[in-house]
Structure 1
Amino acid sequence: MNLIQRMEHWGDTHHPKWLDIVRMVLGILLFMKAVEFMNNMDYLSTLIGKSQFLSSISIGVMAHYVIMTQLIGGFMVAFGLLTRFASLIQIPNLLGALIFINPPSDILSPSGSWWLSLLILFLLVLFVVEGGGPWSCDRLLENHPMKTK
């Protein structure tokens, strides 16, 4: 059994039910943030442009990538559908927010969004390891009577 299979097995056998509530809330928050970004596309483009790392065309592409991954990924995390994959595709968004968007001087600010981004990144990594849990679509599909073996 390789490392990924052992990690999946451990996550499936050691998943408390209360963690599913955290997963659902995280998915809803990510989905809501994507809707907020869709409604304020100029603000998102300004945030991404602050990094001065991308050209103007790349900023538009990156803004659409962030919105789509958070919209689709947030929905999938909330319902526990392909939770590990949905969490994994959102990690680059959070890494970008931590490194480029939220300035390092924001770390010591108690109201700064750096800590919130770090918490969400930690939860996404946790759900990459833990998976969907007992209250997820993943579990329903896994235990479905029509499942082919």
Structure 2
Amino acid sequence: MATVKSLNKWANAHTYYSLDVLRIVVGVFLFMKGVSFMTNIEYYTQLIEPLKNIGGGMLIVHYIMGAHIVGGVMILFGLLTRWSVIAQIPILFGAFIINFIGEMHIGNLILSFLLLAICVFFLFYGSGKHSADYYFKMQQ
């Protein structure tokens, strides 16, 4: 717990509006990906075609939809950002790996790698000073 507190103190001392804008953009993007995932289910089942022999394929699809929609909104507002990012990391790592198993999509590969790197950054950085987490912490 002391490590998280020291990371929060460092992040609040070194906060920048550009990082908050990046967090908001990532949250909106993940939310839109979740909505896209929900509306184009056939496309995404084709994407995970290489993993169809693994049990729970539809469970994975529903986890991705929920995690992107709920996690995107939480990242957008900066509410429980680290927990939301932890839920996104396995999805983004899987999106990165699936490009090597199935058909290679360079755009998806680059996008998933960038989002994975940004999420790992926010896992350590936190939500920043301009977020719901900071607001609720200051209200105590």
Tell me the TM-score normalized by structure 1: 0.83
Q: Indicate if the aligned counterparts of 2:29 and 2:72 stay in contact, CA closer than 8 A.
A: yes
Match of 2:133 among 134, 138, 144: 138
* Unmatched segments (≥5 aa) in structure 1: none
Q: Which consecutive aligned stretches of 4+ in structure 1 deviate over 3 angstroms post-superposition?
A: 1-9, 104-107
| Cross-structure match for 1:39 | 39
Pairs within 5 Å for 1:1-149: 3-55=3-55, 58-100=56-98, 102-103=99-100, 106=104, 109=106, 112-144=107-139, 147=140
Q: Indicate if the aligned counterparts of 2:85 and 2:122 stay in contact, CA closer than 8 A.
A: yes
Per the alignment, do residues 53 and 9 of structure 1 end up closer, same or farther by CA in structure 2, a change over 3 Å counting? farther
State the SS of the aligned residue for 2:51. coil
Equivalents in 1 of 2:87, 2:50: separation in Å?
A: 23
Cα deviations across residues 9-43 of structure 1 (Å, max 9, x unaligned)?
33333232210000000000000000000001122
Deviation at 1:3, TM superposition (A): 4.2
Q: Indicate if the aligned counterparts of 1:15 and 1:130 stay in contact, CA closer than 8 A.
A: no
Equivalents in 2 of 1:89, 1:20: separation in Å?
A: 20
Per the alignment, do residues 134 and 6 of structure 1 end up closer, same or farther by CA in structure 2, a change over 3 Å counting? closer
Q: Indicate if the aligned counterparts of 1:27 and 1:73 stay in contact, CA closer than 8 A.
A: yes
Q: Indicate if the aligned counterparts of 1:70 and 1:90 stay in contact, CA closer than 8 A.
A: yes
* Unmatched segments (≥5 aa) in structure 2: none
- Coordinate RMSD, CA, aligned: 2.0
Whichever of the two has the greater Rg, that structure is 1
Equivalents in 2 of 1:77, 1:16: separation in Å?
A: 16
Query: Greater share of helix residues, 1 or 2?
Result: 2
- In the alignment of these two chains, the number of paired residues is 139
